[in-house]
């Protein structure tokens, strides 16, 4: 349904997307990456909102922008929050249905709003809606014309856990019906629930792609970096090397010790006995790279290990 062939996009001197190639078929595909990874640019490229600086994009066999009728087959949930603030949700989604020349725009809007648990008869203006409700209105306007391809940029942002579950179930159902659903997210656990194929982006590049569980294993098996504070960093370092759970180690200034390990659980079990062996007081143990950005950086190209 979507094919990107060596696509790059730069804005002035800033490279937003670099030589990305992938294809998306029916079902849910998650586009995972930290903020600034290039996910939104990829989504804008797929929808024709911006043109690639290099490479080729095909959506449902056509090039976005060149074929106006293609827009009748795409439903987009954009990232930006702004809506037509003075309109009601019903009027906003009905307008979308009318622009798609649907026969019964009112009932299509009611159905789309119903699918995201919103009341089409609500007379409040969109300006009065909470962030979660606004997100669901955005999803409704993307669904209203029943498109074969849905492109959703961080659609779960601002939703409470129950709403998240509802929308995840909706996306999964739409995917299982044969639609293409491309969903971007920067939340790993969120993507896990899609139970889908994953494209991982980092620093504008496609860092990994495949089944979620394979990617997750790859992420968990990366070297983890931790910082320890102790009164005897060199002796503790030597004792930790003896345990075999450490693959890299650096003694920092003063009381600090930075270690790399491939087995966090094993390291955590070994660290206290090692401290006893070294007769060292363990003052602090802090993971340095548990944030998702570090995971993505590793997938793109791991940082050099500290010297042993």
Window of 74-82, 207-215, 267-275, 300-308 that interacts with other proteins by CB under 8 A: 74-82
Q: Does 99 bind other proteins (CB under 8 A)?
A: yes
Give the 3-state secondary structure of residue 119. Answer: coil
Q: Does 15 bind other proteins (CB under 8 A)?
A: no
CA 137 to chain centre: 21
CA 54 to chain centre: 24
Give the 3-state secondary structure of residue 192. Answer: helix
User: What is the distance between the alpha carbons of residues 296 and 207, in angstroms, rounded to a whole number?
Assistant: 7
Give the shortest CB-73-to-other proteins separation in angstroms.
9
Q: Does 189 bind other proteins (CB under 8 A)?
A: no
Using CA atoms of 27, 30, 31, 33 in order, give the dihedral in degrees to the nearest 10.
-170
User: What is the distance between the alpha carbons of residues 154 and 259, in angstroms, rounded to a whole number?
Assistant: 35
Give the shortest CB-69-to-other proteins separation in angstroms.
5
Q: Residues 21-60: x/- map of binding to other proteins (CB under 8 A)?
A: -----------------------x--xxxxx---------
- Measured from the CB atom, the residue of 16 and 200 that comes closer to other proteins is 16
Residues 100-159 that bind other proteins (CB under 8 A): 100-101, 141
Give the 3-state secondary structure of residue 280. Answer: coil
- Measured from the CB atom, the residue of 57 and 275 that comes closer to other proteins is 57
CB-based contact 72:147 (threshold 8 Å) = yes
Q: Residues 78-97: x/- map of binding to other proteins (CB under 8 A)?
A: x-x-xxx-xx----x-xxx-
Q: In this structure, how many other beta carbons lie within 10 angstroms of the beta carbon of residue 140?
A: 28
Q: Can you give the binding site for other proteins, defined by CB under 8 A?
A: 44, 47-51, 68-72, 74, 76, 78, 80, 82-84, 86-87, 92, 94-96, 98-101, 141
């Amino acid at each position: 349904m979507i094919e990107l062939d060596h696509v790059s996009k730069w804005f002035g001197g800033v490279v937003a997307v670099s030589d990305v190639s992938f294809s998306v078929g029916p079902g849910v595909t998650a586009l995972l990456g930290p903020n600034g990874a290039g996910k939104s640019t990829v989504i804008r490229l797929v929808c024709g909102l911006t043109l690639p600086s290099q490479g080729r994009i095909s959506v449902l066999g056509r090039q976005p922008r060149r074929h106006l009728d293609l827009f009748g087959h795409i439903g987009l949930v954009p990232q930006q929050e702004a809506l037509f603030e003075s309109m009601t949700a019903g009027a906003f989604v009905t307008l979308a249905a009318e622009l798609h020349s649907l026969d019964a725009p009112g009932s299509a809007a009611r159905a789309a709003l119903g699918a995201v648990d919103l009341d089409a008869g609500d007379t409040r203006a969109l300006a009065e809606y909470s962030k979660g409700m606004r997100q669901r209105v955005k999803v409704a306007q993307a669904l209203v014309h029943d498109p074969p391809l849905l492109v959703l940029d961080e659609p779960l942002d601002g939703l409470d856990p129950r709403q998240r579950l509802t929308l995840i179930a909706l996306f999964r159902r739409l995917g299982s019906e044969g639609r293409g659903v491309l969903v971007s997210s920067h939340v790993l656990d969120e993507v896990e629930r899609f139970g889908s194929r994953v494209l991982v982006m980092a620093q504008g590049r496609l860092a990994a792609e495949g089944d979620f569980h394979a990617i997750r294993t790859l992420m968990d098996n990366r070297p983890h970096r931790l910082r320890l504070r102790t009164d005897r960093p060199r002796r503790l370092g030597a004792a930790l090397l003896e345990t075999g759970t450490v693959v890299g180690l650096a003694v920092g200034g003063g009381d600090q010790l930075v270690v790399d390990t491939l087995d966090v659980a094993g390291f955590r079990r070994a660290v206290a006995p090692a401290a006893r062996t070294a007769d060292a007081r363990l003052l602090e143990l802090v993971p340095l790279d548990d944030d998702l950005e570090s995971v993505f950086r590793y997938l793109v190209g791991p940082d050099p290990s500290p010297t042993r």
